[in-house]
Structure 1
């Protein structure tokens, strides 16, 4: 499992362009290009298409301004929980990059095709 310093931050913005990009108050960016498994209270089917413009509107309405209470990267799955019992999960895709997380100091994690994680550490300060 990989630990990230996102918990306690709030969702400042869900960007208007695809892929889905979520920005936090502590300068993290979470990008999701695959299907998004979300709490059934948000989407009846429980699944949103990461490449569908409607997904942006749904996420903007549902998570903007909420606190991130849990972030977990285990194997090739990204799990995010927000206040109000809202959770989203992004899984790997066999053929495409499915999600990525970029931190304020250049640290980066990308879920590559097939689920392998590519990890770039924090850039050294000058």
Structure 2
């Protein structure tokens, strides 16, 4: 499932029990489970619930980068690829919502416990 983040730039990140990525055009990705971040040949396994904030410092290279691919697969995992080649990958969680992606007009995709995807389409104005 394409999440519609292609071309959106990462404006800021916040880490406090979850990693929140704020993108242009009012899109947000919230990661609440352990995830992997890859950049320049290095892999970082991060957990927003338990790792100290300084563990997320390598992700600073994502600021102002555009998303080139943002997909959720049938298992409930999330893959984000940025134009500098860096990637974020989140596996589904058996007990908790692993991640959410939200956008304008009520657009929302949630990786539910066990990996099922719940989706809400953006509301459009009816003529």
- TM-score scaled by length of structure 1: 0.86
Q: Does 1:92 align with 2:92?
A: yes
Q: Which runs of 4+ in 1 moved over 4 A?
A: none
8 A contact 2:15–2:48 mirrored in 1: no
Deviation at 1:5, TM superposition (A): 2.1
Deviation at 1:18, TM superposition (A): 3.2
Partner of 1:110: 110
Partner of 2:17: 18
Deviation at 1:32, TM superposition (A): 0.3
CA distance in structure 2 between the aligned counterparts of 1:30 and 1:55, rounded to whole angstroms: 19
Give secondary structure in 2 for the equivalent of 1:123.
coil
Deviation at 1:43, TM superposition (A): 5.2
8 A contact 2:46–2:56 mirrored in 1: no
Partner of 2:45: 47
Distance 1:33 1:54, change over 3 A: farther
Q: Which runs of 5+ in 2 are unaligned?
A: none
User: What is the alpha-carbon root mean square deviation over aligned residues?
Assistant: 1.9
Q: Which runs of 5+ in 1 are unaligned?
A: none
CA distance in structure 1 between the aligned counterparts of 2:6 and 2:41, rounded to whole angstroms: 21
Q: Does 1:9 align with 2:5?
A: no
